[in-house]
């Protein structure tokens, strides 16, 4: 333990204490013990001891040098230059170093003053999230499902092939355990380790493309500075029970979209309104307010039986979400 900083073990105990406090207050489930195989490797660094430049970072009692004066050479080169702000007046918060199986990452909070500017606000917008299109905005703008693009289809297909190759390699190197029927021992060869690293790199690439796409959409919506944004309170865990659409819903990352929108709206002082979970945004006519009870998921166009309005189903839902604060009682996130 003397080879590493005592702040690493102290913070681990503090994190466990916070987890138990949240559990006893009813905010979360009972904390689980970390697994060496499945858990993400991470550790904490003290904010007073960490030093950051545009190209390097210095961590407390952690070095790759074997020389006697190793603390002088205790600088680790950053892969991305100039991403972390540096300066005398900058205060760092909660630095964490994590390992994703391929690379080490440093994540750190930076405290800075925020400028409040609400003079360039436009009218409010409603956002309808879905599977066919990721997001349909009430002003008519559409953001496509990136998983249907040629590039992503190619990467997903390659990912499936690699998974099958690794599975076949395991089957080739299995041996039956003596005295136990249908029990096998799997040997991990060097070729399997290489293939698994290749699979991790590919999965990370797919994940980063999806994550970057949601970042681009949420940032563009928030930077337009609308008066308010309305989204649905989707039951994603319930939607995943549909076996036919579960994979498509999972790939859309709908919960992650909402999470990013929530904290970005706080940055720009935009009121984010979450509708009631049972609000029938797709069934209500945006023109006359008539509710169509027999609307099916296969009906991609909304045809009103009362006023004869014919409109795209998702666009109609987004317009109803935009009118939600005016016609219904809003719940602010």
Residue 153 predicted with pLDDT over 90: yes
The pair of three-digit structure tokens given for residue 151, joined into one six-digit string: 């590039």
Residue 321 located in a structural domain: yes
Which of the listed residues 82, 110, 138 is the one where a domain comes to its end? 110
- Together in a domain, 207 and 300: yes
CA distances from 273 to 214, 265, 270, 332 (A): 19, 10, 10, 5
User: What pLDDT shows up at residue 37?
Assistant: 76
Check whether residue 28 and residue 139 sit in a common domain.
no
Q: Identify the pLDDT of residue 120.
A: 56
> pLDDT by residue (tens digit) across 278-327?
888 888 888 888 888 888 878 888 888 888 788 888 898 999 999 888 87
Domain assignment present for residue 117? The answer is no
At 2 the pLDDT is 76
Same structural domain, 154 and 233: yes
Final residue in a domain of this structure, among 110, 135, 160: 110
| Helix, strand, coil distribution of the chain in percent, nearest 5 | 35, 20, 45
Question: How does the average pLDDT of the chain come out, rounded?
Answer: 86
Q: Note whether residue 333 is domain-resident.
A: no
Q: Are residues 53 and 139 in the same domain?
A: no
pLDDT at res. 143: 93
Query: What does pTM read for this prediction?
Result: 0.78
Does 150 lie in the same domain as 80? no
Confidence (pLDDT) at 64: 60
Q: Work out the average pLDDT over 197-210.
A: 93
Question: 78 in a domain, yes or no?
Answer: yes
For residues 211-223, average pLDDT: 94
Write out the residue range of the structural domain in which residue 32 sits: 6-110
The radius of gyration computed from the CA coordinates of the chain, to the nearest angstrom, equals 25
Identify the pLDDT of residue 330.
46
Give a yes or no: residue 1 inside a domain.
no
Please give the tally of structural domains in the chain: 2
143 and 283 co-located in one domain: yes
Question: Are 59 and 187 contained in the same domain?
Answer: no
Task: Examine the fold and report which residue of 81, 110, 139 is the final residue of a domain before the chain moves on.
Answer: 110
Residues 180 and 279 in one domain: yes
Domain identity same for 79 and 176: no
Is the residue at 115 inside a domain?
Answer: no
Residue 188 and residue 305 in one domain: yes
In tens, the pLDDT along 37-59 reads 778 889 999 888 888 999 989 88
Please report how the helices 190-223 and 254-267 are oriented relative to each other, as an axis angle in degrees rounded to 10. 50
Q: Which residue has the higher pLDDT, 185 or 204?
A: 204
Based on the fold, state whether residues 83 and 128 are members of the same structural domain: no
Domain-located, residue 189: yes
Instruction: Indicate whether 100 and 127 sit together in one domain.
Output: no
> DSSP alpha helices (H): ranges in the chain?
6-24, 150-172, 190-223, 236-239, 246-252, 254-267, 313-322, 324-327
Exposed, middle or buried, 148 (CB in 10 Å: 0-12/13-18/19+)? middle
**Does 116 reside within a domain?**
no
């Amino acid at each position: 333990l003397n080879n590493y900083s005592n702040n690493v073990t102290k913070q681990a105990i503090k994190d466990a204490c916070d987890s138990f406090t949240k559990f006893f207050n009813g905010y979360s489930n009972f904390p689980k013990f970390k697994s060496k195989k499945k858990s993400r490797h991470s550790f904490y660094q003290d904010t007073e001891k960490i030093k950051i430049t545009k190209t390097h970072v210095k961590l407390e009692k952690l070095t790759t040098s074997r020389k006697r004066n190793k603390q002088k050479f205790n600088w680790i080169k950053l892969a991305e230059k100039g991403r972390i702000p540096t300066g005398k007046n900058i205060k760092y918060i909660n630095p964490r170093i994590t390992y994703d199986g391929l690379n080490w990452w440093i994540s750190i909070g930076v405290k800075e003053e925020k400028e409040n500017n609400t003079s360039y606000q436009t009218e409010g917008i409603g956002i309808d999230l879905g599977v066919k299109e990721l997001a349909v905005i009430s002003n008519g703008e559409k953001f496509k499902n990136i998983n249907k693009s040629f590039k992503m289809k190619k990467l997903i297909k390659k990912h499936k092939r690699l998974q099958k190759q690794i599975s076949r390699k395991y089957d080739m190197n299995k041996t039956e355990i003596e005295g136990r029927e249908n029990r096998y021992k799997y040997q991990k060869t060097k070729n399997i380790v290489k293939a698994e690293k290749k699979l991790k790199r590919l999965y990370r690439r797919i994940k980063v493309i999806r994550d970057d796409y949601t970042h681009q959409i949420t940032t563009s919506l928030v930077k337009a500075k609308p008066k308010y944004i309305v989204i649905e309170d989707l039951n994603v865990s319930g939607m995943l029970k549909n076996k036919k659409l579960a994979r498509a819903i999972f790939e859309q990352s709908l919960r992650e979209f909402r999470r990013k929108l929530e904290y970005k709206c706080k940055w720009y002082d935009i009121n984010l309104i979450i509708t009631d979970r049972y609000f029938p945004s797709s069934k209500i006519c945006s023109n006359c307010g008539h509710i169509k009870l027999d609307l099916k998921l296969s009906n991609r166009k909304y045809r009103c039986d009362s006023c004869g309005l014919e409109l795209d189903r998702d666009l109609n839902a987004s317009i109803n979400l935009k009118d939600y604060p005016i016609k219904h009682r809003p719940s602010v996130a």
